[in-house]
Chains A and B, each alone.
Chain A
């Protein structure tokens, strides 16, 4: 059985249909890529899958459980985490505090009002390990707003990892990164792939095709093709669309 399955998702805003009929099925351990032109509904799809918007139709199943229409908080607690295309951090906090706040252990401590969070050294050690995994070792105490763009991108993923997700959604992780930053990110995602099921929305075909096990192409609010990167390159649909030309 698939770890994550969306069936016939439908979403409209007023009279504007953004998701016509999306069905996706992701196996545990898989790295799934999602591509498609601007405005195809990729980010809306993520927002529906992670609880930001409720779908107007269809169901979302995760780990054998129906999670359709749950709030972001409830989706997060199921073990689904996401990063954001537009940077979404706790700007006043240091890098390590950003991660600490997202740890399930700290979430569980939330209602103890007289304990000092700084004394929870286990939580800070765990957060430091996560920062190390995303390549931010040595930056623990740096204010998150003082980090470079690439470091903030990495921290964005670190915060998403803090929840120890079973499924990680990454929304255009390479956006705004240079060649070097993208290469470093590819290394990171390759490592993460061993540990967690990942779904990535991405414009950078080279990046996506090198990493993904399978890629779904979304266009006009539907999945128009889904296959391994190798087969997709041969797909006439993909070749004919502007997307294919980039990879040729």
Chain B
């Protein structure tokens, strides 16, 4: 008899739904009153939120200064393009490597910590990088940031696609998102991901059964920073610029709010849901009032107070309730059958 749990599906239903919905978006966006650029931004934030949740939801490491690595990716993409003449994939590789390097250094200083000390240190390092971005005029362009970052064309095997239009760029961003999504899905079910989740539950026991807790936490941070950097590089292309605001505490807070509202603590898919909800709220509510963040903040507080597991948590509660109801409905019938038999 096999004792293994069911292996993770290669193409789980939520993944198929997400990808089909996003891939078909250009067909129905206009009809529901949205626009292509908004979809670009949502998918970029999805990548960022998924990367962030590798730490918060899977590893239990509260990184509250994660905008820094998104920002490092954005600047690195711009600098690679403008100083080194890098094209699309070269620029994104630069964004990934720069953010991974920044994450690797910071992770050295924080990976022996946990909880509130971990959170405070991530904020401190995030603020340091934000400050550097503002003050280091010669490299970052100071408060103005790097302007005129182009969207280079995608060149594969001698073919060339322009990404200048939002439609074409969306297709490319979606492709990157799909790669990140599949990679992270495999990752969280791998031995590495399962040990990381064990460390989240009980760091001490994980060390006592022989796992290198520090190295797991360090590598999770580096991976998360690297993927955040990719999102940042895409964002620089989306905005045609990179500026200090993307590294601010503000932006770092946004990604935490997305992950928590979506339910990243209990579900792999939480960040995906959260990014959609957040950006749509910003756009739709923002059209009516400048104080949209106030309303979003109130909803966020309500979620944290009443359903800390977010939207995915509500879904799970509902599913459990349905199963219970089905079970209680089945029980009298079974009893009746027994009586008849």
Interface residue ranges, A against B (CB under 8 Å) = 50, 52, 71-73, 76-77, 81-82, 84, 88-94, 96-97, 100-102, 104, 106-107, 109-121, 124-125, 127-128, 140-141, 159, 162-163
Contacts and interface: CB of A to CB of B under 8 A. Distances in A.
Contacts of B210: 73, 76-77, 102, 104, 107, 163
Interface in B170-207: 183, 186-187, 189-195, 197-198, 201-202, 204-207
Given A88-B202, A112-B192, A162 B209 contact: yes
Interface of B: 2-8, 183, 186-187, 189-195, 197-198, 201-202, 204-213, 216
A4 B120 CA distance: 42
Contacts of A97: 5, 194
Contacts of A109: 191
Contact of B186 (A73, A88, A89, A116): A116
A82 B183 CA distance: 36
A106 B194 CA distance: 10
Given A93-B198, A113-B192, A118 B211 contact: no
Contact of A118 (B6, B192, B207, B209): B6
Contacts of A73: 207-208, 210-213
Contact of B209 (A52, A102, A113): A102
Given A76-B209, A92-B197, A104-B210, A112 B190 contact: yes
A76 B213 CA distance: 13
A127 B4 CA distance: 10
A96 B4 CA distance: 9
Which of B186, B211, B212 gathers most chain A CB within 10 Å?
Answer: B211
23 contacts: A50-B208, A73-B210, A76-B210, A81-B209, A88-B205, A89-B202, A91-B202, A92-B197, A93-B201, A101-B206, A107-B210, A110-B191, A110-B211, A110-B212, A110-B216, A113-B187, A114-B183, A114-B190, A117-B190, A118-B8, A124-B2, A124-B3, A163-B209
